[in-house]
Each structure stands twice: as structure tokens, then as C-alpha cells.
Amino acid sequence: MNFAVKIVNQKSNRMLNICDAELVGRTVRQSDLDITITKSYYGDRIIDEKEAESLLRTSSIINMVGKKTIDLSIKIGIGSAKGVKEIEGVPFLIVFKF
């Protein structure tokens, strides 16, 4: 299982943008909302599940897209299924840990 990630460090916070690798480049639509899952936002590099788990645990702000990504985060106790929103069948979840 591969994930696309981009890490942004700001002062004492680490923001992790992470998605299922196969979603990079896809555009999802809902009503008048279009969201493109871009390489510049999510795809600095491709990582495996072990590294994804480590980054999920150590990041304070996490933007997640995709079933595999969100399933992993919930499995390790980060985030909740209650916060997941779907656009065109693609799940999105944002988590803040402070």
C-alpha cells in the first residue's frame, strides 16, 4: 500500500498532507465544488504504510484523502469515522492535534 505525502513544518507544528497514491491528479466534483488532488499539495514523495503510520502519529495537523489513508488513521486511533466527508465517493478527513 502506497501513500503520497507532503510535509510542511511551521514552528512547532508539522502539517501532513497525505492521500492514497493513486488519487494524485484526480479531480472530484460535488455541485459547484471541484477539488483537484494535486501533486504539489499531496505528492512530494511516495511512502509505504510503515512510514505513513509514523507520520500520522507525529504530525499535529493532518489533511487526509482516500479510503486506505483514512482507514489506516482510524485503525491507529487518529481521527474518527464521524468526521469523514465524501466527495464523489472519495473520503476526506482533517485532524488537528494540539
**Cβ atoms 24, 38 nearer than 8 A:** yes
Domain ranges of the chain: 2-96
Band (pLDDT 50/70/90 cuts) for residue 98 is confident
Lookup result for grid cell 504504510: 49
Q: pTM of the predicted model, to two decimals?
A: 0.93
| Predicted pLDDT of residue 16 | 98
| Predicted pLDDT of residue 86 | 95
Strand order across the beta sheet in which 2-10 lies: 45-48, 2-10, 13-20, 61-65, 90-96, 85-87
Phi then psi dihedrals of residue 22, to 5 deg: -75, -10
Phi then psi dihedrals of residue 30, to 5 deg: -150, 120
What architecture is domain 2-96?
Answer: 2-Layer Sandwich (3.30)
- 13-28 average pLDDT score: 96
pLDDT in tens, 32-51: 889 999 999 998 899 999 99
pLDDT in tens, 73-94: 999 999 999 999 999 999 999 9
